Chains A and B, each alone.
Chain A
Amino acid sequence: AQKVTQAQTEISVVEKEDVTLDCVYETRDTTYYLFWYKQPPSGELVFLIRRNSFDEQNEISGRYSWNFQKSTSSFNFTITASQVVDSAVYFCALSEAAYSGAGSYQLTFGKGTKLSVIP
């Protein structure tokens, strides 16, 4: 069965500091997808990034960057020069590409990391 572990429950940083959110996953499949979602206090889950298991290139988008390492089954997320607007709960999630039952490709989420950026 697939599993996602986000060991950091809460992190507090001072504005402009860099912060890394850890994500470790377990899956039996060789083909899978990894995601990060942001959940601000308003509650809506906002999609940030998707990576497939065959693409281990790191990705940078503005102040956000992602480090995918299959050898350690990790998909970590770094925010550079954090801002107060980054305060939210961040979820890592896994989807197995092979059919799960009726092909739902359901997401398995970690428990989330609550990030507080202090001005």
Chain B
Amino acid sequence: DTGVSQDPRHKITKRGQNVTFRCDPISEHNRLYWYRQTLGQGPEFLTYFQNEAQLEKSRLLSDRFSAERPKGSFSTLEIQRTEQGDSAMYLCASSVTGSGGSPLHFGNGTRLTVT
């Protein structure tokens, strides 16, 4: 169990640029989540995958955001035409299939700064 891995750890970009983040979940976990955390707040749900299917998206996820999980393994989160309000920590988490009690295992996150 190597844990959830996220890349890069930090990303600084100029407003209007596109960025892409990668998440590698724990290998036997078929559920994958993306959360966003801003300073002084708890993580907020963005989207969820069961294997390769994206089954739920938060209203927080604007049209500029897109996530994929090809082949049900790693996942990518892309933000197009970044805005300063997109600056946040983007967290990936994974869990096993089960009831709502399966704990989420989080990665270290990708900190995005939009200048």
Chain A contacts to B: CB under 8 angstroms: 4, 31-33, 35, 37, 42-47, 50, 52, 91, 93, 95-98, 100-112
Contact = CB atoms under 8 A, between A and B. Distances in A.
Given A102-B55, A102-B56, A109-B42, A47 B101 contact: no
Contacts of B104: 45, 47, 107
A45 B102 contact: no
B50 interface: yes
Contacts of A93: 42
B42 A110 contact: yes
B40 interface: yes
Interface of A is mostly: loop
A44 B107 contact: yes
A52 B91 CA distance: 25
19 contacts: A33-B101, A43-B89, A44-B107, A45-B93, A47-B105, A50-B103, A52-B101, A96-B100, A102-B50, A104-B45, A104-B56, A106-B45, A106-B56, A108-B45, A109-B43, A109-B44, A110-B42, A111-B41, A111-B42
Given A44-B108, A101-B55, A102-B55, A111 B40 contact: yes
Contacts of A96: 100
Contacts of A91: 42-43
Given A33-B100, A95-B100, A109-B43, A104 B33 contact: yes
